[in-house]
């Protein structure tokens, strides 16, 4: 009779433990990263009243008779199903979508593991769990400056430094990319040209260089000894010139030669049609003029007005387009540089750079023969110049000159408006202002100058048997003899999940499930209590027999 009492007690005890588990789950329903538990029961040992016997030819076998002694809690399992991710917008809040644990270093160099990623910085700029002070752990050499980057992490240490506000060096400009269009309808530079209204001729036809002035149709009276042709005008730069030529035996070539001897910066020539022209030696706006006339005391004479000179081609420097941009020296100091695009020929342009004197001087400032194909596409082969498609700048206060490559491959040469944008790779100095995390758990520092700098790699741990981890409170687990060794790696490697920044994992407690288990525990407890009550009543009946 007393056996049923003891059996009922085991039922009370185990259902009380089940109730404790449910209560703990409900208490932690809002705990970050909490994983719910469940109690699993198993029966206790049995008292055998009669053993089993084997069957014979004359009789069948006998089944055993055994009476159980109650129930026990076989195990309390933990569910590592994914909890809902909640956005927090906090830069040091991290969550794991999938398997894995954050690794934190304890005060005794004993690592703990957690699904709760509500981290912050301590006074030394280290990434910690602010509730316990445990240091978030990293792995690998990211952030140690091994690749020539900024060294924020201490070699040999596994904690993570996040020096918000630390200065970040800039980067010198080494490349400028141009994208857009240079108008194909633009005009190239043109040299100024003077030309006679009509060509010189004789009674027999077009005159040439050997034709005497006396044989020209414009000659009214033959020149004699002492007659002079007065030649005067202005050079392309506006300076005057004047020369006298003996006319008696002079030919048209003598006239051209005399004119070339007087001109500066221009050249006279006689065309095949007898036309006299004067062409400036250089392109651009000019001031050319020419007057031919007989001296006042001449016996002979010619009507030069019929062949007077007019401006047949206006001198022009060509269409130019300008753009301005900032570039950076090795100290990160910005400098304003201007680029002039000049149309040279139908399909070629030149580019000239200019910089302010207070910034420095240009050692190589031009790119010539920027050539385009007839369909308007860029043609690289034509580039020439002192540094090909480069400019070289000697910045003030810096010993070594700085070379900047110019990339024109993004330009077209079409019959549309000028439209060019440029992008350079230089960066000014700045400071570390924020942190971002990738899905693999790599922390990247974001600087005020736009630079993104690798900071550290979070160490994400996995276990062959995570259900065997020891829960030690504060959202932490510890490795046990049954869990296996921690395997550290990056997020999204192996069976590790991805790391989500600005989010936290909520508890995976299912309230409906827990309330159901609460009822089950209560009913089980009540049923076992009833067993004890009935057993007590039966014992009471037994003791009343002797009355």
Predicted confidence at residue 380, as pLDDT, reads 63
Tell me the Ramachandran region of residue 127: left when phi exceeds 0, alpha when psi lies from -120 to 50, beta otherwise. Answer: beta
Measured distance CA(299)–CA(504) in Å, rounded: 111
Write down the CATH number for the domain with range 175-187+318-424.
2.60.98.20
Q: Tens-of-pLDDT digits for all 547 residues of the chain?
A: 577 888 888 889 999 999 999 999 999 999 999 999 999 999 888 888 888 888 888 888 888 888 888 899 999 999 999 999 999 989 999 999 999 999 999 765 689 999 999 999 999 999 999 999 999 999 999 999 876 668 899 998 999 999 999 998 888 999 999 999 999 999 999 999 999 999 999 999 999 999 999 999 999 999 999 999 999 999 999 999 999 999 999 999 999 999 999 999 999 999 999 999 999 999 999 999 999 999 999 999 999 888 889 999 999 988 999 999 999 999 989 999 999 999 999 999 999 999 999 999 999 998 888 899 999 999 865 554 433 689 999 999 999 999 999 999 999 999 999 999 999 999 899 999 999 999 999 999 999 988 889 999 999 999 999 999 999 999 999 999 999 999 999 999 999 999 999 999 999 999 999 999 999 999 999 998 888 888 877 887 777 887 6
Write the pLDDT tens digit of every residue in 493-517: 999 999 999 999 999 999 999 999 9
Structure tokens at 414: 């079409």
DSSP character at residue 524: H
Whole-number Cα distances in Å, 288 to 234, 239, 263, 318: 5, 9, 10, 18
Whole-number Cα distances in Å, 56 to 49, 51, 63: 22, 16, 14
Structural element, H or E, at residue 409: strand 402-412
CA torsion, ordered 388, 394, 395, 399, to nearest 10 deg: 130
Judge if 175-187+318-424 and 191-313 fold alike in CATH terms: no
DSSP character string of 135-185: EEBB-SSTTTTTTSS---SPTT--B-B--TT-EE--B---EEEEEEE--TT
CA torsion, ordered 316, 322, 328, 333, to nearest 10 deg: 100
Query: Where along the chain do its domains lie?
Result: 2-46+66-77+508-546, 85-169+431-505, 175-187+318-424, 191-313
Q: So what CATH class is 191-313?
A: mainly beta
Predicted confidence at residue 306, as pLDDT, reads 80
Nearest Cα to Cα of residue 211 among 251, 175, 263, 266: 251
Predicted confidence at residue 182, as pLDDT, reads 95
């Amino acid at each position: 009779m007393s056996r049923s009492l003891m059996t009922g007690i085991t039922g009370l005890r185990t259902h009380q433990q089940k109730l404790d588990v449910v209560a703990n789950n409900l208490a932690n329903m809002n705990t970050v990263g909490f994983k719910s538990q469940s109690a699993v029961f198993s029966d206790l040992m049995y008292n055998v009243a009669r053993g089993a016997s084997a069957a014979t030819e004359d009789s069948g076998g006998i089944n055993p008779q055994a009476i159980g002694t109650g129930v026990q809690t076989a195990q309390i399992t933990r569910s590592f199903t994914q909890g809902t991710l909640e956005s927090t917008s906090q830069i040091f809040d991290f969550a794991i979508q999938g398997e894995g644990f954050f690794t934190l270093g304890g005060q005794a160099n004993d690592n703990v593991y957690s699904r709760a990623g509500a981290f912050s910085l301590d006074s030394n700029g280290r990434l910690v769990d602010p509730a316990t002070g445990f240091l978030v752990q990293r792995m690998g050499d990211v952030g140690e400056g091994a690749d020539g980057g900024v060294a924020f992490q201490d070699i040999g240490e596994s904690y993570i430094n996040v020096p918000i506000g630390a200065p970040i060096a800039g980067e010198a400009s080494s490349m400028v990319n141009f994208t857009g269009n240079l108008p194909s309808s633009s005009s190239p530079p043109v040299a100024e040209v003077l030309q006679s209204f009509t060509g010189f001729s004789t009674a027999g036809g077009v005159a040439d260089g050997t034709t005497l002035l006396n044989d020209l149709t414009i000659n009214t009276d033959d020149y004699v000894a002492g007659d002079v042709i007065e030649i005067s005008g202005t050079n392309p730069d506006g300076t005057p010139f004047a020369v006298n030529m003996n006319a008696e035996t002079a030919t048209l070539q003598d006239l051209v030669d005399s004119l070339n001897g007087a001109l500066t910066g221009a050249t006279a020539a006689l065309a095949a049609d007898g036309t006299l022209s004067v062409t400036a030696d250089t392109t651009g706006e000019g001031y050319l003029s020419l007057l031919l006339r007989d001296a006042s005391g001449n016996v002979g004479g010619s009507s030069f007005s019929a062949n007077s000179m007019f401006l047949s081609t206006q001198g022009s420097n060509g269409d130019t387009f300008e753009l301005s941009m900032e570039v950076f020296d090795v100290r990160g100091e910005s400098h304003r540089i201007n680029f002039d695009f000049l149309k040279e020929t139908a399909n070629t342009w030149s580019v000239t750079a200019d910089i302010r004197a207070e910034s420095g001087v240009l050692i190589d400032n031009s790119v010539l023969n920027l050539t385009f194909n007839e369909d308007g596409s860029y043609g690289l082969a034509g580039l020439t110049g002192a540094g090909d498609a480069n400019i070289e700048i000697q910045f003030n206060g810096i010993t070594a000159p700085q070379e900047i490559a110019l990339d024109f491959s993004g330009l077209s040469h079409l019959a549309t408006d000028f439209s060019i944008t440029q992008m350079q790779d230089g960066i000014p100095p700045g400071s570390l202002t924020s942190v971002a995390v990738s899905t693999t758990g790599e922390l990247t520092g974001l600087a005020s100058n736009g630079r993104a700098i690798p900071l550290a790699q979070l160490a994400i741990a996995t276990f062959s048997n995570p259900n065997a981890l020891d829960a030690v409170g504060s959202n932490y687990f510890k490795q046990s003899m049954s869990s296996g060794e921690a395997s550290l790696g990056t997020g999204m490697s192996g069976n590790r999940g991805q790391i989500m920044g600005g989010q936290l994992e909520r508890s995976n407690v299912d309230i409906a499930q827990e309330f159901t288990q609460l009822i089950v525990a209560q009913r089980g407890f009540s049923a076992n209590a009833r067993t004890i009550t009935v057993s007590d009543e039966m014992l009471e009946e037994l003791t009343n027999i002797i009355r």
